[in-house]
Structure 1
Amino acid sequence: MFEKEYDVIVVGAGHAGSEAAAVAANMGAKTLLVTMNLQNIAQMSCNPAMGGIAKGQIVREIDALGGYSGIVSDKSAIQFKMLNKSKGPAMWSPRTQNDRMRFAEEWRLQLESIENLDFYQEMCSGLIVDDNKLLGVRTSLGLEIRSKAVILTNGTFLNGLIHIGEKQFGGGRAGERASTGITEELIALGFESGRMKTGTPPRVDGRSLDYSKMIPQPGDVITSKFSYSSITTPLSLQRDCHMTYTSPEVHNLLREGFDRSPMFNGRIQSIGPRYCPSIEDKIDRFADKDRHQIFVEPEGWNTCEVYVNGFSTSLPEDVQFKALRSVTGFENVKFFRPGYAIEYDYFPPTQLKHTLETKSVDNLYFAGQINGTTGYEEAASQGLMAGINAVRKIREEEEFILGRDEAYIGVLIDDLITKGTEEPYRMFTSRAEYRTLLRQDNADLRLTPRAVELGIIPEARLKRVEEKQEKANHMVEFLKDTSYDFKEINELLERKKTATVKQNDKLYKVFSRPQITTEDMKTLPQFQNYIEEHDLDEDILEQVEIRVKYAGYIEKEKNNADKLHRLENVKIPPNYNYKNLASLSYEAREKLTKIQPVTVSQASRISGVTPSDISVLLVHMGR
C-alpha cells in the first residue's frame, strides 16, 4: 500500500496536525496525514470558538504565514467580537463563535484540495527509528510507512483516560478510543513523559432552555474577520450567545458530589489548566464567591446543541444534572451528554529544539498538546511551525524560527523550549514583553513577507501588504507635515472636553491625544479629504491611529528588542560543558546542561539562571 517514501508524515488530524499537513504539502513536500478517524478532522473538542485574548493574535499570525485557521474560522463563524477594545491596541483580540460542524467540514475541504497531501485512517502505534534517526511509522495493522520526517500531533489521545465521577474509561475524546503504543516507544528511546488533565462542560439541548431569563451577548455591530486574504468576508448575520450565573444553591448541590469527584478523591493526580478551572475547582478555590458566570454558546447556525461555557466538570452525571437545573434559565434542561475530565500523556517540551524537532531523535517533531499546551490556537501555530521546519530540514535549508519580538508564536515556542511547563500552557498578552509590537492588526505586516520567502503564499498577497504599509506611512507623514487652524481645532477639543490650544500646530500632535479618535479627525476637512483622495480603508486608518497614539511605546519596545538581538547573536557551542564553569550557580549549571540553550539570550530566559550567571557566560564567550 505504501511502497514509496513520503517526505513528511503527520500523525493526528486535530488543529496542529491539520496545519502541519497543509503547510508541508503546500511547500511541495509529499505528505501523508494519518488519523484514527477521517470523519473527525479538526474537531473543536471543547468550546466552539476561535481566538480570544492573545489567541486571536495567534490566529492572525497563522493566517499571515499562510495557514488555514483564520480562513476556516471566518467561513464557519456565527459571531464576531473584538475583545478588550476599551484597553490599548496591544490588548485588542479578535474572537469568533463558530459552527462546530461547518468548521470541521471547511478544514476537511481545505485539506482535500491540496495536491501533495494523502490521507490514511488508522492508529499509528509505533515509530521506525534507526540510530536515533526517524525513518517512518508503524500502524496498528502492522504496516510500515517510510518518511524523511514525522510530526506527532496526538492531542489528548496518548493513553487518554476519561473521568465522569467514579467512572473512568479509556478514550481520547468522547466517543473515541485512546491511542496506545507511542508513549511507551518514546520512553524506551529515552524521552521523559508526564500526565496532564483537561476537562469539558456538558452539552445540552437549547430547546429546553429559557433564554428570556438570561442576558443576551450579541456580537459586534461592525464586524471584522481573522484572515487578511480576500477569500473571506465579515459576517453580515450573527447569532447571539447568552449569559447567566450560578448561585449558592447550585454550589451546595455541586458540593454534595465532591466525595465522588475524581479531582478530590485522588483518582486524578495530574495538573489541569490553571486559567480554565472546572466548576467544582472554582467553588472550592473561590469559596467567598456566591456566583460564577455561565456563557451559553450555540454550537452552530442550525443545531440546537449548546455549549455551557464555565461549567466544565468531572462530577457524577446525576450531580451535574441536578446542579445545572438550578441555574437560572436551565430549570428544564435536557442533556446531550455530561461533562468529563480527561488525562493524557505529554512530553515536557524542554526536550525539543526551537524548530520543534526533538533533541534526541533526528527528523521527529512534536506539536500541540503533546508539548503541554492547551487551546486550538496554540496547537495550530505549533503544527504550522513544525510543518515548515520539517520540510526545510529535509531540504537542508535554514531553520525557520520566530523571535519573541516577531510573533506571539515565537513567544509560545520559546517559553515551551526554554522554561518548559508542568501545567497546560495557555497564551496571554502578558507573556509577551513586546506586545505593543505584536498586535492583531499588524500580523500581516510582520509575517507575510516571511511567508513569501518560504514559498507558502504567492507574491500577489505581499503586494497588498506592501500597499497597506506604504499608505499608512504616507498618511503618518501627511499628519506630521500638515498644520491645523487653532480656532477650528478648538471647537473639536472643546466638544471632547480636552485642553484647547493657543496657536496652530500639526495634525499629528492633536491626533496623538487619547481623547481624539479617527472619527473625530474625520470632521476636519483636510483629514477627510486626504482619506477620500487616497482611498484609505478602515484597516489603514486603524494602523495610522495606533502608530500615532502609541509611537513612544512602540519605539521603546523596538529599542528593547534591539538589545535582545545583541544577546541572540552570542551563540553557545552545541553540547557546551557548563560543569567546567565553577563561577556558575549550581542551579544554573544543572538547568543549562539539561536545556542546552542555543544563544545567551535564550539562556537568560531560563528560570533559575541569574544575571550574574549570564555575565559569567558572556565572559567565557569572549564578550
Structure 2
Amino acid sequence: MANYPKKYDVIVVGGGHAGCEAALAAARMGCSTLMLAIDLDKIAAMPCSPSIGGMAKGHLVKEIDALGGEMAKIADQTAIQYKTLNTKKGPAVQATRTQNDKGRYHTAMKAVVECQANLDLKQALVERLVVEGGRILGIEDATGFGYQAPCVVLATGTFLSGLVHIGFATMQAGRAGEFAAYGLPAHLKELGFMLGRMKTGTPPRLDRDSIDFSRFEKQPLEDGTPTFSFSNPSARLPRRHSYIGHTSEAVHQLVRDNLHLSALHSGIIKGVPARYCPSFEDKIVRFPERESHQIILEPEGLDTREVYASGLGNSLPMEVQIRMVRSVCGLEEAEIMRPAYAIEYDFVNPLQLKPTLETKRIEGLFMAGQINGTSGYEEAAAQGMWAGINAACVVQQRPAFVLDRSQAYMAVMVDDLVTKGTREPYRMFTSRAEYRLMLREDNADLRLAEIGYELGLLDAGTLKDNRERKAMIETEIQRIKKTVIKPRPEVNAYLEERQTPALNNGVHLDQLLKRAELGYEAVNRLAPAEPAPEGRVTRQVEIEIKYEGYIQRQLQEIEKFRHLERIKLSDQLDYALIHGLSSELREKLAAVRPTSLGQASRIEGMTPAAISVLMVHLRTWKNR
C-alpha cells in the first residue's frame, strides 16, 4: 500500500458537523490534522432540517461555542430566523433556535475549515483502518492509498452501509445522491465491533412559488437579535418567515390506504426509527385518534425556492407523495422539488467506547456523531469536538478531556451513550440532565471558558472578558443583597403598579427581586447600579438571586454526585468474581467497565444494594 508522504497527528473521517468540529478542535490545539470527506462540496451539509438549536440542542451549541468551537458562529452568520423557545418557562429550559440558509452554512463552514492552520482537507472514500497490535496507524481509501496518523476519528454520519428508501425503490447512498461507504462497516465488523442498524428520514422539499401561503398561518419574527455565539458576531442576513398549517382526515386516510407501499411499514426497513421524531405515516399509525398533524413550511435559504415541509417526512412512493402533499390545504398545486425519503445505516454500539469516545477495542480510534447512535447536527458537533479534543490530548500526552454530568449537556450525552448505550437514535432533551438549572444556555461560557482556554481553543482576550463578567456578576449580587429598600411612597406606588404587595418595613433588595412579579427592572427603578451593568450581567444576577434556594439545593446534590464520581474503579476489576450481584449486572459491568462508582450507579438495572456490594468488593480488592 502506498502512503501519503506527510504523516499526521490526527485523521478525521467525515466532513459533516461532527467531522468539522473534531478536525477544528485538533488543529487548533496544535495537532497536524487531516479531514477526509467523500464529497468536499458537502462539507457541513444540512441534509434534513436547515436549522440549528432548539430544546437542549441549543444548550449543546452554546457549550461548543464556550469551549472554542465553530457551530454557533456559523449558525449566527447564516441565520434567516431566530426564535427563543419556552420563554414562559424557567431559564433552565429556555433555548435558542435558528432557521438557516443551508447553502451559506456549508460555504461558511468550509471556508473556516480550509483556512484553519494545521488542517488539510482532502476528498476520499475510506474503506479500511490500518491497525497493528491493537493500535490505529492510519486509514486506507477506496483506491488502496493510505494516510498515517496515531489517532483517527470516525465521524461517518449516515454513510455506513447507507440505504435510501422511497417506497419499494432502494438506493445505496449515504444521503440522496451521494455515495455510501460499504467497505468500512464490513471492516469494522472484521475488527470485532458490534454494529446495529438505525433509520432516519427527511420530508419533501416544495417549490415556493407553487404554495398558497395565504392558507397557512404566518409565524411572527422575533424581536431583537438573540445569538448563539458569546462573541456576538456582527453578520446579519435578512429574515424570512415560516408558516404553520395542518393535515386533514383526507390526508390521513390516503396514507392509511397506502401503508402497504411504505418502506417503513411494509417491513423493508430493518433499522430502528427515532421515537421522538416519527415519520408522517408513523404518526398516522401511532396516533389514530388525531384528526390533524402540524406542518411547518420553512425556507431553505435566501437564494433558493426550496421550502422544507417539516412534518411530512415519509418513505412512500413518489406518486403517493404527490397525492398526499396536494391533499393538504394550501398545497393543492404544490410541486415537489425533492421527494421525502427514509435512510437506514449502520452504527456502532456506543458501549464499546470509553468516556473519551475512544474505542475500547483499538487504541487511538475515536468515534463521533451518528456512528454512535445519535441523531441531530448539534449532538454530532458536540461529540465531534469531544473526540477531537481527546485525540489531540492523546497525541500531546495530556490528561483526557472528560467533563461530568454537572458541568455540561455534552457530558450528559456522552455519559448516557457510553454507560447505557442506545437502542434508538439518541436525542438530547433537557429532561436527561439532572442538574439542568446549573446547565443553562445563558451561563455556558461562565461554566466552560476556563476549560476552553486551558485546552488552547480560546484566546486570552476572551478569557479576560469572561473573568471580568464573572466579577461584575458577583459584585452586583453582593450590592443588591446589601441594599435596603425602605417603604417610601414612590416605592410602594411602583410595587402596587407591578401588582405585588407594598412594604411596611425596610427589606433587602434581593428579597424583592425574588418576587415573581419583579425582574431586574425593579433594581433599575429602586436602586440602580452606577454604571449600569450590561444585559448579560443583569440576566445572571436576576437568575442567581431568584433561584438561589433551588441553586443551593442543586449544588448539594452535585456534591453527593461527585463523591461517587471520585471513587475510581480499576480497569483490572474482574466483575465475574463479585458475589452478591446478578449475572445480568456482572455482564453489564464487564461490558461497560465503568471508570467510577458514579458511572456504575447509572448502568441500567443497578440498585443501591448492588452499589453497596460493589463498594465492599472494591475495598477488599484494594486491600489485596
**TM-score bracket, shorter-length normalisation:** over 0.9
Hey, what does 2:315 align to over in structure 1? 314
CA distance in 2, matches of 1:237, 1:620: 63
CA distance in 2, matches of 1:408, 1:594: 24
Hey, what does 2:610 align to over in structure 1? 613
Q: Which residue identity does 1:542 align to in structure 2?
A: R
Check if 1:385 corresponds to 2:382.
Answer: no
Check if 1:539 corresponds to 2:536.
Answer: yes
| Offset at residue 302 of structure 1 (A) | 2.5
CA contact (8 A) 1:224 1:235 kept: no
Given the alignment, which residue of 184, 209, 212 partners 2:211?
A: 209
CA distance in 2, matches of 1:305, 1:357: 40
Check if 1:143 corresponds to 2:137.
Answer: no
Check if 1:552 corresponds to 2:549.
Answer: yes
CA contact (8 A) 2:207 2:337 kept: yes
CA distance in 1, matches of 2:249, 2:202: 22
Deviates more, 1:257-266 or 1:601-610: 257-266
CA distance in 2, matches of 1:219, 1:430: 28
CA contact (8 A) 1:80 1:235 kept: no
Given the alignment, which residue of 52, 55, 59 partners 2:61?
A: 59
Q: Which residue identity does 1:603 align to in structure 2?
A: A
Given the alignment, which residue of 175, 194, 197 partners 2:177?
A: 175
Given the alignment, which residue of 22, 27, 30 partners 1:28?
A: 30
| Offset at residue 237 of structure 1 (A) | 4.1
Instruction: Report Cα offsets for 1:493-529 as digits up to 9, x if no partner.
Output: 22222233311111111111111122344333x22xx
CA distance in 1, matches of 2:618, 2:514: 44
Hey, what does 1:304 align to over in structure 2? 305
Distance 1:31 1:173, change over 3 A: same
Distance 1:286 1:300, change over 3 A: same
CA distance in 2, matches of 1:335, 1:511: 54
| Offset at residue 361 of structure 1 (A) | 0.2
| Offset at residue 234 of structure 1 (A) | 7.5
Aligned-partner SS, 2:178? coil
CA distance in 2, matches of 1:317, 1:501: 69
Distance 1:315 1:575, change over 3 A: farther
What is the root-mean-square deviation of aligned Cα atoms in Å? 1.2
Q: Which residue identity does 2:477 align to in structure 1?
A: V
Hey, what does 2:283 align to over in structure 1? 282
Deviates more, 1:255-264 or 1:69-78: 255-264
Hey, what does 2:464 align to over in structure 1? 463
CA distance in 1, matches of 2:280, 2:572: 46
Q: Which residue identity does 2:597 align to in structure 1?
A: V
Aligned-partner SS, 2:149? strand
Deviates more, 1:71-80 or 1:267-276: 267-276
| Offset at residue 320 of structure 1 (A) | 1.3
Distance 1:38 1:236, change over 3 A: closer
| Runs of at least 5 residues in structure 2 that lack an aligned partner in the other structure | none
Hey, what does 1:247 align to over in structure 2? 248
Q: Which residue identity does 1:598 align to in structure 2?
A: T
Q: Which runs of structure 2 are paired with 1:470-509 in the superposition (5 Å)?
A: 470-487=471-488, 488-509=490-511
| Offset at residue 4 of structure 1 (A) | 2.1
Check if 1:565 corresponds to 2:562.
Answer: yes
| Offset at residue 219 of structure 1 (A) | 2.8
CA distance in 1, matches of 2:552, 2:239: 39
CA distance in 2, matches of 1:116, 1:561: 39
Hey, what does 1:449 align to over in structure 2? 450
| Offset at residue 243 of structure 1 (A) | 0.5
CA contact (8 A) 1:223 1:234 kept: no
Across the two proteins, how many residue pairs are aligned to each other? 617
Aligned-partner SS, 1:6? coil
Aligned-partner SS, 1:274? coil
Instruction: Report Cα offsets for 1:426-463 as digits up to 9, x if no partner.
Output: 00000000000000000000001001011111111001
Hey, what does 1:100 align to over in structure 2? 102
Hey, what does 1:336 align to over in structure 2? 337
Q: Which residue identity does 1:313 align to in structure 2?
A: N
CA distance in 2, matches of 1:305, 1:505: 59
CA distance in 1, matches of 2:449, 2:245: 41
Q: Which runs of structure 2 are paired with 1:340-419 in the superposition (5 Å)?
A: 340-419=341-420
| Offset at residue 418 of structure 1 (A) | 0.2
CA distance in 2, matches of 1:427, 1:265: 30
Hey, what does 1:594 align to over in structure 2? 591
Hey, what does 1:324 align to over in structure 2? 325
Hey, what does 1:219 align to over in structure 2? 221
Distance 1:567 1:441, change over 3 A: same
CA contact (8 A) 2:200 2:343 kept: yes
> Structure 1 length as normaliser, TM-score?
0.97
Instruction: Report Cα offsets for 1:345-376 as digits up to 9, x if no partner.
Output: 00010000010000010000000000000000
